[in-house]
């Protein structure tokens, strides 16, 4: 069996070599010629999988090591009886932790206390649901907007989009859909931004085209927004350098790039391929995850500011300002080379682990600080062994 795989999927050769011959290449290098004789194709979000790519090929199975699949023409695969798998939920914790890191960093820069603030979570699936839970753990008042979930469940906790407009913070977690009742393409448009509360904080870690970049730039220029964090951009990898210059935090579509999430996605599509072709699966997640670099964080006896203590703990595990600084280096590249620079940041992304790999040692085993740390994903224990939480 020949397997063509995106080289940005970690350990893809080591894992899939147990079931076939693996050819690794860049996601943007996957041309019809490159995949023509492959039996299976393993991609990430930058590869568009459709008739143009697969027509006349030998491909019998496609998998994307991502939670979203708007880059895959499922109708075409179904019509050609080509098997398909994705990795729902695999990097959801990673993306949710990215949002928490962004909110804490923005809180630092702008003197915003998160406890007691309102936040609108637009899209409450695998990622948005985790974001909502973590924000509630930090003491925030969460309003959830997800029309499909509201229709499916009838649960009144899902509110109309208008109900989030007066929130202090807004974070986007929808898939990208370009038509239909729940179209999300340019969901955050001029009307959206003009409806927001003056001085709101805006975060997008879903898909770039969920936001109308021109409308967002206009809202920033008009000082309607206090702060903006973007992990995703329209027209990636050729992103709007002026928009990057205008936002508080920018990163190269890496919110879901924790090693834990990548390995979970790897194993999900590996097991799906094995099942599709009737092969035994040799590996599991534990075969590829190393011990964390930051296993323990000790907080001082006098914690003082709880939000700053949490921000400091998060920063030791994931330094979001480093991603921002690295992406801003794109301004020094010739305009024609910026797309390659953006892709290189993603391909060479350093190892990042999720919060659950780290234990925070606190002076006291109970209280709000412990609840918040546990709620955003850390393990926690008291200073003395008998005080374990």
Catalytic residue, candidates 130, 224, 253, 346: 253
The residue written with tokens 């932790």 in the block is 97
Is 224 tagged catalytic? Answer: no
CA-based end-to-end distance of the chain:
49
| Nearest-10 Cα torsion for 162, 165, 214, 69 | -70
Catalytic residue, candidates 173, 207, 338, 346: 207
The residue written with tokens 């996601």 in the block is 27
State the Cα–Cα distance between residues 16 and 55, nearest whole angstrom: 24
Cα atoms in the Cβ-side hemisphere of radius 13 Å centred on 346: 26
State the Cα–Cα distance between residues 327 and 244, nearest whole angstrom: 9
Which residues 6+ apart lie within 8 Å of 154 measured at CB?
none
* Of 314, 309, 287, the residue nearest 299 (C-alpha): 309
* Of 96, 24, 179, 169, the residue nearest 376 (C-alpha): 96
Catalytic residue, candidates 236, 306, 353, 354: 236
With both helix axes pointing from N to C terminus, report the angle between 368-376 and 126-137 in degrees, rounded to the nearest 10.
170
Cα atoms in the Cβ-side hemisphere of radius 13 Å centred on 249: 32
**DSSP state letters, 75-126:** HHHHHTT-EEE--TTTTHHHHHHHHHHHHHHHHHHHT---TT-EEEEE--SH
State the Cα–Cα distance between residues 26 and 203, nearest whole angstrom: 29
State the Cα–Cα distance between residues 348 and 342, nearest whole angstrom: 10
Would you say how long the chain is, in residues?
A: 389
Task: Yes or no: say if 200 and 169 are a contact pair by the CB < 8 Å rule.
Answer: yes
Is 186 tagged catalytic? Answer: no
**DSSP state letters, 197-256:** PTTEEEEE-S-GGGB-HHHHHHHHHTT-EEEEEES--TTTTS--HHHHHHSSEE-SS-TT
Is 207 tagged catalytic? Answer: yes
State the Cα–Cα distance between residues 365 and 367, nearest whole angstrom: 7
Phi-psi region of 374 (alpha: psi -120 to 50; beta: other; left: phi over 0): alpha
Q: Which residues are catalytic?
A: 207, 236, 253
């Amino acid at each position: 069996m020949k397997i063509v795989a995106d080289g940005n999927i970690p350990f893809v050769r080591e894992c899939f070599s147990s079931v076939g011959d693996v050819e690794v290449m860049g996601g943007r290098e996957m041309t019809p010629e490159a995949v023509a004789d492959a039996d299976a194709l393993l991609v990430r979000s930058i590869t568009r999988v459709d008739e143009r790519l697969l027509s006349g090929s030998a491909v019998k199975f496609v998998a994307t090591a991502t939670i979203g699949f708007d880059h895959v023409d499922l109708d075409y695969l179904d019509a050609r009886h080509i098997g398909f798998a994705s990795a729902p939920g695999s990097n959801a914790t990673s993306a949710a932790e990215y949002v928490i890191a962004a909110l804490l960093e923005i809180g630092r820069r702008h003197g915003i206390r998160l406890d007691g603030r309102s936040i609108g979570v637009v899209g409450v699936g695998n990622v948005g649901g985790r974001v909502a839970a973590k924000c509630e753990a930090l003491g925030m008042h969460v309003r959830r907007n997800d029309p499909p979930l509201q229709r499916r469940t009838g649960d009144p906790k899902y509110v109309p989009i208008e109900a989030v407009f007066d929130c202090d913070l807004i974070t986007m977690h929808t898939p990208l859909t370009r038509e239909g009742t729940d179209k999300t393409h340019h969901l955050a448009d001029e009307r959206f931004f003009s409806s927001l509360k003056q001085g709101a904080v805006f975060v997008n870690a879903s898909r770039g085209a969920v936001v109308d970049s021109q409308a967002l730039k206009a809202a920033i220029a008009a000082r309607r927004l206090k702060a903006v964090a973007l992990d995703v951009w329209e027209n990636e990898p050729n992103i709007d350098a002026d928009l990057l210059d205008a936002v508080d935090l920018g990163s190269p579509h890496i919110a879901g790039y924790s090693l834990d999430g990548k390995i979970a996605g790897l194993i999900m599509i590996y097991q799906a391929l094995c099942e599709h072709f009737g092969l035994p699966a040799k590996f599991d997640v534990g075969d590829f995850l190393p011990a964390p670099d930051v296993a323990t964080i000790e907080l001082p006896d006098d914690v003082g500011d709880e939000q700053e203590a949490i921000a400091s703990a998060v920063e030791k595990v994931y330094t979001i300002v480093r991603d921002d600084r690295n992406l801003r280096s794109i301004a020094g590249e010739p305009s024609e080379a910026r797309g390659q620079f953006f892709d290189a940041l993603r391909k060479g992304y350093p190892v990042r682990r999720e919060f659950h790999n780290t234990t925070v040692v606190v002076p006291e085993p109970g209280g709000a600080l412990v609840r918040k740390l546990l709620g955003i994903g850390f393990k926690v224990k008291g200073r003395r062994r008998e005080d374990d939480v």
